[in-house]
Structure 1
Amino acid sequence: MQALILSIVLTVASSAKVTWLPNSNFNSPKNFKDGKLPCSKQTVIFPERVQGAVRFQSDNLAKELILPITGEMLLEGALYLGGVDSKEECVEENKYFIDKTVTSWAYPDVWASPRFNEATPDAERVPCSDDSVEFPSNSEFSLFLPELTQHIQELKIGNQYYDTVTFKDRALEENTAQQFYHNNHQTTGVVVEENKCRSQANRGCPCQEFTLEINCESKYCAVPACSQPIKPIGHCCKVCGGAVSFEREQSFHYMEFKEFVDKIVASYKDSSIVYHVGIIPPNTVQVVIVEKGEYTGLSTVIANDIDGQLSRHWYLGVEALKVSGAPLSSSGSGFKIALSMLSAVILVFGGVYAYYYKLPSPREFLPSLPAFGRGSSAGLLSRFDRRTESIVSLTRRDSTATVASGAGFATAFRNPLYDSKRGRVNVMDSDVDDDKKQ
């Protein structure tokens, strides 16, 4: 009796309601990239092509609309462009409308559930065999049903519940606000039945016979706020945080391992940390840890802690750890400072190099003068250089340069090495000179 009660409790605890999100209503915040409706200072940008009709059902505010090339807009309420609203937090920016009117069961971001959080991989954001699936009332969409059979526990469209047979009849209907497309008339790809799976070792998407391949092409990926972001298994986008994955043993128990992770995360006492423990077919366990709001790097510290405390009895084979780098807010500022210092050094040395070696010296040439006297040159070439310290005097320090009238200029010069040699060498008169003197 106790075992039966425990089994029922575990089954109820693991099941959840999964709600279909796509809706072509302009007034739904979920149809905008940031999950918020536009205000009077913001420009709404639609995709180039909208598959279904976008419905404006109440008063709407926006600065302007950038409409699609093709698509249909149904205006049932007022639309105020460039008006003024009372929202003090309204900031001038672009708002992007996401077309979710024609989607697939296996698209990312089309299902919502309390068991999903920021760390849940896109591959696991689909209904599981013990989930209750609900399509909201007054929603318009076209849905391609899964090609591989998916089991769910309950199905509700609006206020009406369906089983496998009645849902098939509903899906064959035409001219309704909710259009369901499937491959053949024999099955819809959705089986509604009571979940008979009781194995807690198979959590992740428990007891789903076929795993769907998520189409990541429709996923919008924001730029991660960290250096070297990671891409955990099943994620469409790179994220900031940490991930630990390993191949589980046959004796692995999901709930026991989750309690192990719970204790480590709780020890840090930080409400911004969220994590997900999932089973990736056929036999891989993955823990993904991220942070809500601003990324600080704490999630990577916790991932390292889990990896360090991971007991050998949890896994066999390969065990891997992935962690992202520092926040861009800190690593970016350090990089900018280093880049600025490097640029300053390069500019200084570049200026010195160009000044002394590359830039041509400004020169002025005096016109050629006629030669005077024997031995004089044909003319005079004088250079005036702005680098006065580079001018070398060619006149002896103790000599007097005189110009004889009519005899040209003196040809005396000063040897720059003369003084240094004179200090080190005693110049002796040769015998030849002595003989001449006699």
Structure 2
Amino acid sequence: MKFQSNLMLLIFIVETASCFYKRWLPNTNFGTPLNWNAARVPCGNDQVIIPDDSPTIILNSNSTIGQLVLPLNGMFVLGKNNILSFSSSSNDPNCVNSGQTVEFNATYAREWVDPANWCLVDSIDGPCKNDIPLLDSERIPCISDDVIFPAGNSYFIDFGTNMELTINSMRFLGKTYSTNSFETFMTSEYGRKYFRSYRSDESRTRLNIKRRPCRDPASCECGNYKPAIFRKICEMHSPLCKRPQCKQPVRPTGHCCNICGAVIKSKFESGFNYETFVNQIKQEFLKNETGIELVVSRIDTSIQLTLMDPTGDRSGDVAMQIFRDIQTDIKRGSQKYIFSEVEIKISGDDKSKISTLPPSSSSSSSSSSPSSTSTNTKTSASVGTSTTSTSKMITKPTAKDHLTAFNSSSSTSSTAAHGLTKIGIIEIILGGLALQVLLIIVVILYRRGKLASFADHVRMNPIIINLQKRFVNQDSVPMEDLPNANFDNDGGFQNPMYGTSTHQSGKLDYLTNDSEIGGEASNERAFDNPLFASNQESLFEDASKISPALTMNPVYDPNELQDSTI
């Protein structure tokens, strides 16, 4: 029997040590200074006004005022053994500036998802433990947390809309509730004074009270990092984020603000123990460290370590030590930590923290690049190499050496760091493909003997003909009357662009010197070239005016040839 008593005591201690309480902070009490527009509690002969839209107000201490104006529809509760007195004069030496009109201004509901409305405590009546660092999503009640609304206070709470909230237990005004009983209380006439009412077009938030503490050795996740809840948490808290004192800060999963430091995520396997792991990290890496905050969170099937300090320098160095140790353990079979994957991201622009990791025997011989910190690369050796190695765990646990090194800024590839962007690479590839297609078409036309007909088809295209008339034949001479390279110059046609020798069939020789152009030529075929001057009144206008034997001299003045372009 003695053994059973000791065993029961041991179980109680373990459960109490692992239990978290989240206590609600705001209230609508009469004695809270922030609830009044004068930022002080009414006293002396003050005239006190409580507006019509005010929630329930409780008087939990003796008070003296001059006058009290109550709302038409509201609730003013006198606490047990508390007295409210009225006086036309102020005899209280502690009441400063009495005789004023003081109005209650805590008439709006406080949001459940606002981290500023909660504090972490280790007992129902214990003080807030503000020295314990938490992620923003963990500062409001999590799945395994016990929620406390202390008795002797009045509240006005907004659960928000369209959310599914889950907690372990609910203690409201000294009474413990289940999911159904708390829903009944919220919709009762008395309970509605404590909660914001919903409009007809709003979707109610459901609060699930599971009343089942976490018994998983790997810990239980908070669950508030999921989008529907986390988005509303950050809407409330993000405006309060401080500007980080480091370049390229990082942001842990479940946190609304950027931080200076590092985030390590490790995928755990069966047999992992959360408390053992946390103790190992504290004893081996943080025992002699000061100024570094550590937050260890479960995110789905991974454990996230968040280390931060004002500049991120020291926490980044310690994170690299932890990361190397986890990576080494994975390569050896993961007997120490029982992790199968690990990844890290570090704030700051000091890329040597990543690139100087010692290479593994299984890694490729490629050297690490400083630009690797801005990429998401999983490797089997050091961060910065591009070698990927994955070994699956079958009978004996072997290592899945996955490593990701990245910073919080937008990821860019190592190619982009050398001046060539991904878009540029895509354009080059598409251009090469287009060129290959064009070459294939030309080869097909050539083999089928249709290349010449295709060229003729292109040449006879109306667009090509129009361009030729505009830029080549500016004098609008009929195309059939223009000289060409296949002209049989039996008549001694003198063209300034070609040679003077007669009987040239098939091709004409170009002259490189104007002095080689002959002087006179006899135009036996009566062809009048528009490039030469003649005594004709109108070229080709009247065929009878064309002399059958016309002698003409070539003109060499460029000014006279400016209207004719060859």
Q: What is the TM-score normalised by the length of structure 2?
A: 0.40
Higher strand share: 1
- Which entry has the higher C-alpha Rg, 1 or 2? 2
